[in-house]
Structure 1
Amino acid sequence: MKKGVGLRAAQRQILRDNDVLAALDERDVTDIAEGGRDVSALTDKELLEFIMAANLLYRAGEPLIDDGRYDFTYVAELRKRHPEHPFLHRVEPEPLALAKSVELPTRMLSTEKAYDFETITRWATRIEKAAAELGFAFDRLRFRATPKLDGFAAYDDGEKLYTRGDGRRGTDITRAFERGLKVAGTGERGQGAGEIVVSRSYFASHLAALFDNSRNFQASLIKEKELEEPAAQAIDCGAAVFYPFAQLPQWVGGWQELSRDFNDIVDKLWTQLDYDVDGIVFEMTEDAIKEYMGATRHHHRWQIAYKRNTETREVRVIEVVAQTSRSGRVNPVAEIEPTRLSGALIKRATAHHYAMVLAKGIGAGAMIRLSRSGEVIPKIEEVVEPKEVVLPQSCPSCGSDLVWEGDYLTCLNILDCPAQITNSIEHFFKTLGNIDGFGPSSVSRIYQGGTRRIRDIYSLEEQDLVALGFGPKQAQNMVEQLQRSLVEPIEDWRFLAAFGVHRMGMGNCEKLLSVFPLTRVFALTAEEIVEVKGFSDKSADEIIKGFSAVRSEFEALYALGFNLIVTSRQKEGGDRSGAILEGKTVVFTGTMSRGSRSDMQAQAKVLGAKVGSSVTTKTDLLVCGEKVGAAKLQKARTLGVKIVSEQEYLGMVAGAES
């Protein structure tokens, strides 16, 4: 957005329609976007709210800031403060307000990001390790590199075109093809994931005077309203297309060649297409290794995107202020002399903890060197001239005395500290992921009205919410959403992770529940936790302490009857050896008639199966719904994989579950 212009009418309307602003107002959003407020000066709530607003506007075709600043400044700051924040470990959602959301034919994940060659090297090392475990020679493996298009992500199954949505559910935008949108490359439909893009040169010569940016134009191609003439002309002449990832220009070679010619490969691919590119995607080509490495809930482990950005500056610290996080840790934030770094006006920088502040002398008047890179923005690289440090004595949120816990000054007032309570409530609902309407503004209003526990929120009725200042319709929707969160299936590890116990992010929760049932975890000893791979003595002690703090709230909420999907685990004594799917690798393909593919995958995991995304030599069973691709069937037959219909599969598991 242009300096000093403020939000456009369309941007204001999108933010209001989606009710994302609470801690911030529209003037705050403008000020942050224009660099008037340093990112490190934002509270956690303000930072997340700005990120959500920027993401919403970007994906709705009304960008607030460019993709580089979004990644390198705001998301990176969130990653620095809270590496396990749920927002960082789920697919950044497209707005679903375009139409009713529908299940995607396959999950569309985000891509892990790298900002230097060292990160790419670490990624390759993980692939080398996986290759060794599978018996592949690393020096014979092939890597692929393709441009990362900066367009509107979509998925084409041959009959419908979907927005990416939240990675699981999107919206049907087939109307784009009905309006004449062409497919780049071969021109064939059904090539899966891709991006709706517009030629960079065509945009500059024909559309720049009409649209603020290409994202704004790309979104106009799929809106429900009648297509405007500039968009129709761009489609007619082929300047606007759906570009399947399968058709992208590519480089393929071994790791030795990739590491030697990395910069040349990146430079060539970055400029090869007449479309906006915001990175280069590197991936492993061997299906067996891809299957073995799998994916997180956010990205495929066998794939990574390289982006560029870095800059440094020396600046003077004015003072160091304290901010209380959800965990009770009080984080030091250095207010600095305003300075421009990579195009943004920086006024604050976050230090890791007060032990670092003491050790390095980050006090008022200190001279520090800041850097801007993808991982930490801005990061205190070095203290050039240290000064005396003054430590806070009380919590800035509730005034309670602070105590040292390791490197951190901590507020122990868990029950009454406003910052800890509201941040914990927000974390619970965000982590559940099956409830809307309980963002920062709603939670703040509920807290100010005297409701301080999540269990009590579930007891609120419409008239209670109206009394707190919510409109009647909004109150009705919120009560319905609370009921939805009870009824809609969610994984038990997600439910446990929602309580925000330190060291118990979603990955560790799933790991623990693969060994112990949910009803047992609060009675576990440190010795039992340490026996689970990945948990140390120190983390076990912290986990037990954290479980003790949330046990009462957990038991009250668990008693409400959430519809929990039980994590597959090995029972003591190994009495599951006779289960029909035990240890089998199952792949689901096609459109299922008796439920969503994700539900069937979850059921298979409960029965002891490993669920794959593609047919490989490790696949034992291919379950076919309707509209299955011929290539996948042929590959299964060639590899000798057992192929069954959805009905046959359901008959098999009916016996296994009884």
Structure 2
Amino acid sequence: MTSSERINQLTDQLNHYNQKYYQEAISEISDQEFDLLLKELEKLENEHPDLKREDSPTHRVGGTITKEFPTVVHKYPMLSLSNTYSEEELLEWDERIKKVLTDRPYEYICEIKFDGISLSMTYEDGYLRKGVTRGDGTQGDDITTNVKTIRSLPLKTSKQAEKLGLGAQFEIRGEGFMPTKVFERINEDLIAEGKEPLANPRNSAAGTFKMQDSAVVASRDLDCYVYQYLSEDDHFKTHEESLLALKKAGFNVSDSWKKVSTIEEAISYINEWSDKRHSLPCATDGIVIKINDYAQREELGFTAKSPRWAIAYKYKAESKSTKLLGVTYQVGRTGAVTPVAELEPVILSMTTVKRATLHNADEIERLGISIGDYVFVEKAGEIIPKITAVDEQRSSNELFRQKVEFVKNCPACHTELIRNEGEAAWVCPNEKGCPPQIKGRIEHFIQRKALDIDSLGEGKIEILIENGLIEDAADLYSLTFDQLLGLEKVHVDELTGKARKVSFKEKTVENILKGIEASKNQPFSKVLFGIGIRFVGQTTGEKLADYFMNIETLQNATFEQLIAVPDVGEKVAQSIIDFFKDEDNLRFIEKLKVAGLQLEAQNVVKEVEGNALEGMTLLYTGTFKNYSREELEQKIAANGGKFVKSLSKKLTYLIVGESAGPSKLAKAEKLGVKMISEEEFEALVSA
């Protein structure tokens, strides 16, 4: 047998054993025998690297060192789900579904919400080609080498995958997690070695997936439950069909899902799993309820942040009593002062909690807390710790209680705090001179959702401010290599007291300057969000960028023009006007212009061709002979039309190309929207 034949034989054989063990719980071979075959394959592949197959099980072992994880834009956005803790709100959501579907029958799929890290896996020609983190929902990190270490995830789809309707090109979504037993085993080893144990399975999984050494990742036995299938083609009509096909094709789909016909049945499922979920191999944080039929999903549509056809029910958070040791205060980028409870450490949801938010002065007053009290603390959404009440049974005598009084002055710059009418927060008005506000605005500017300069994290902004190198985010663009090289500071962690040195070494400085330069290519909408106008979030920034197209037009917009923008109310409009009245803000914008940032939307019409489409709204589906998607949008705008992103009764035309989605065509027909071909569109603009 030749080396090539033996490599192929071993690859097929070991993949078969993996499939049987991880998907069917059948062990056809001992661990020792498996390891011997794997070592033989590794040896042959090292001798003949050109013969190593894409689906080789040695990818599971890792060994690749990845120094950087490139950012990848998701083909399909990974939206978050709206959530609730109340059965009453589930019933209200169900009523909204009924209203849109006009009392037509529908079904729900109920699934366990596993608590890990959301992943997107892309298969091309049947091979796993890309694994990406959720990131901000629009873009994430390419961690393909680490995703390939997940033994339950096929590196190559089975022969029956195409027969089942999956196709050769598709994307799946799943929840990557660290099994509880693995987490406990790792912590036992770390403690035995005198090292700090891992905090909790979720954080451990997230950290492991971002490790540079895939061999270490492989040793941690991460797993993934697959819960979604996506493709350009409509292979399936329902979510149920896709889950069954994925399972039969060898993907790790949890058997815990259930199809139900009513919201009452969904609530029964929630109650059934309230305790049962603790028997699962990983942490969970709720139940997801989804419309089963894909055509009905498209009809229900999306909000800016989440699908209308799905909702997450969160179980009541675990609550424990612990002692309040003190209250400290944090100042945010907008000047809002937030009280933080310092607590005697307590374990909640497998995490040690030492601090909890107290939100604002009103919450302190409502709770009536005093230093030394025992308080109930829980994790909101099983993530953020908060205090819910005083434990009257354990708290000290009234005579000895030191009541918590909200501070009168800023804890950072000592300016007297103010409270705007109708707002809960006390605010430091020293916007230009308060260090945490300056630092917070710059950190907001560099975050992933804004200018995405991630090489400037981990306390580096603080060092730049302290050394007088920057006063605002625009100053980042004038930094030089020589200014940065050699800077360092020792940071002490507030919670653990551990010291950590932050240094600007040669490679670090190169990455920082590279990241700053790359940020000049971020679109206008991200810059607009990054400059930090109060009440202008990511979605509002996108809508303002689409509407006004450049910073000058936005700067000169009237109150009436601003409130005409969808989702821009009076408060947001006034905040925008106030921002551009400030001379310091205008100087800041001017510095960004000089630095070369994108202060104009990239889809601005450079040349007007005509007004044949004036007053019309258009959308497209499929692919086109003469245009890319971007070119088609530009053509619409150049002829006075408005390109929109969703199908509605108000749409003037749906332009239909090749491989158009059948469900979109069916919806357009149902809504009475006129459909035109690429040729008809060209005739329209030429008229």
Q: Name the TM-score class by shorter chain.
A: 0.5 to 0.7
Structure 1 counterpart of 2:298, from 291, 314, 324 = 291
Change in 2 beyond 3 A, CA 1:367/1:600: farther
Amino acid at match of 1:477: N
| 1:432 partner SS | coil
1:444 aligns with 2:462: yes
Deviation readout 1:591-619 (Å, 9 max, x if unpaired):
x9997x7x6798689662233599xx999
Answer whether contact 2:562 2:568 (CA < 8 A) is retained: yes
Find the aligned partners of 1:259 and 1:604 in 2 and give their Cα distance: 47
Answer whether contact 1:181 1:240 (CA < 8 A) is retained: no
1:508 is matched with 540
2:405 is matched with 390
Find the aligned partners of 2:352 and 2:346 in 1 and give their Cα distance: 6
Task: Report deviation, 1:218.
Answer: 13
Q: Name stretches of at least 5 consecutive residues in structure 2 with no aligned partner.
A: 1-59, 163-167, 191-197, 230-241, 244-252, 393-397, 489-503
2:440 is matched with 423
Task: Report deviation, 1:291.
Answer: 3.3
2:618 is matched with 584
| 1:620 partner SS | strand
Amino acid at match of 1:284: I
2:315 is matched with 308
192-201 or 543-552: bigger deviation:
192-201
Find the aligned partners of 1:516 and 1:308 in 2 and give their Cα distance: 43
1:145 aligns with 2:145: no
Task: Report deviation, 1:361.
Answer: 3.5
Structure 1 counterpart of 2:553, from 520, 523, 526 = 520
2:122 is matched with 156
Amino acid at match of 1:424: R
Please identify the structure whose Cα radius of gyration is greater: 2
Change in 2 beyond 3 A, CA 1:344/1:175: closer
Deviation readout 1:538-593 (Å, 9 max, x if unpaired):
454444334444333123313433235639899xxxx9973399422323569x99
1:325 is matched with 332
Deviation readout 1:186-242 (Å, 9 max, x if unpaired):
6445452144879979989x99999998987997999997899999xx99xxx9997
Answer whether contact 1:312 1:369 (CA < 8 A) is retained: yes
Amino acid at match of 2:80: T
RMSD: 5.5
Task: Report deviation, 1:124.
Answer: 6.5
Change in 2 beyond 3 A, CA 1:582/1:335: same
1:556 aligns with 2:623: no
Deviation readout 1:72-128 (Å, 9 max, x if unpaired):
xxxxxxxxxxxxxxxxxxxxxxx9857655555x2251532636244xx54664574
How do 1:405-554 residues align onto structure 2 when only pairs under 5 Å count? 405-406=420-421, 407-430=424-447, 431-450=449-468, 451-466=470-485, 468=487, 470-486=504-520, 488-490=521-523, 492-517=524-549, 518-549=551-582, 550-554=585-589
Instruction: Tell me the TM-score normalized by structure 2.
Output: 0.61
359-368 or 428-437: bigger deviation:
359-368
Find the aligned partners of 1:562 and 1:265 in 2 and give their Cα distance: 54
| 2:484 partner SS | helix
Change in 2 beyond 3 A, CA 1:426/1:108: same
Find the aligned partners of 2:413 and 2:683 in 1 and give their Cα distance: 54
How many percent identity over aligned positions? 21
How do 1:252-267 residues align onto structure 2 when only pairs under 5 Å count? 252-263=259-270, 266=273
Amino acid at match of 2:642: G
Structure 1 counterpart of 2:83, from 111, 114, 117 = 114
Q: Name stretches of at least 5 consecutive residues in structure 1 with no aligned partner.
A: 1-60, 62-94
1:192 is matched with 171
Find the aligned partners of 2:382 and 2:282 in 1 and give their Cα distance: 26
1:10 is matched with none
1:168 aligns with 2:139: yes
Amino acid at match of 2:83: A
How many aligned residue pairs are there? Answer: 534
1:351 is matched with 358
Change in 2 beyond 3 A, CA 1:634/1:300: closer
Change in 2 beyond 3 A, CA 1:199/1:418: closer
Answer whether contact 1:131 1:289 (CA < 8 A) is retained: no
Change in 2 beyond 3 A, CA 1:387/1:356: farther
Find the aligned partners of 1:128 and 1:163 in 2 and give their Cα distance: 37
Instruction: Tell me the TM-score normalized by structure 1.
Output: 0.64
1:380 aligns with 2:380: no
Deviation readout 1:478-519 (Å, 9 max, x if unpaired):
223222111x241x3322111222211122233444544432
Find the aligned partners of 1:655 and 1:131 in 2 and give their Cα distance: 40
Find the aligned partners of 1:531 and 1:332 in 2 and give their Cα distance: 37
423-432 or 217-226: bigger deviation:
217-226
Answer whether contact 1:154 1:163 (CA < 8 A) is retained: yes
Answer whether contact 2:109 2:260 (CA < 8 A) is retained: yes
Find the aligned partners of 2:337 and 2:534 in 1 and give their Cα distance: 15
Task: Report deviation, 1:427.
Answer: 0.3
Find the aligned partners of 1:419 and 1:653 in 2 and give their Cα distance: 58
Find the aligned partners of 2:66 and 2:303 in 1 and give their Cα distance: 23
Answer whether contact 1:115 1:375 (CA < 8 A) is retained: no
Answer whether contact 1:357 1:363 (CA < 8 A) is retained: no
Amino acid at match of 2:536: M
Task: Report deviation, 1:334.
Answer: 2.7
| 2:645 partner SS | strand
Task: Report deviation, 1:354.
Answer: 2.1
Task: Report deviation, 1:447.
Answer: 0.9
Task: Report deviation, 1:446.
Answer: 1.2
Find the aligned partners of 1:482 and 1:228 in 2 and give their Cα distance: 30
Answer whether contact 2:409 2:417 (CA < 8 A) is retained: yes
218-227 or 510-519: bigger deviation:
218-227
Find the aligned partners of 1:300 and 1:507 in 2 and give their Cα distance: 15
Task: Report deviation, 1:311.
Answer: 2.5
Task: Report deviation, 1:396.
Answer: 1.7
Answer whether contact 2:94 2:263 (CA < 8 A) is retained: no
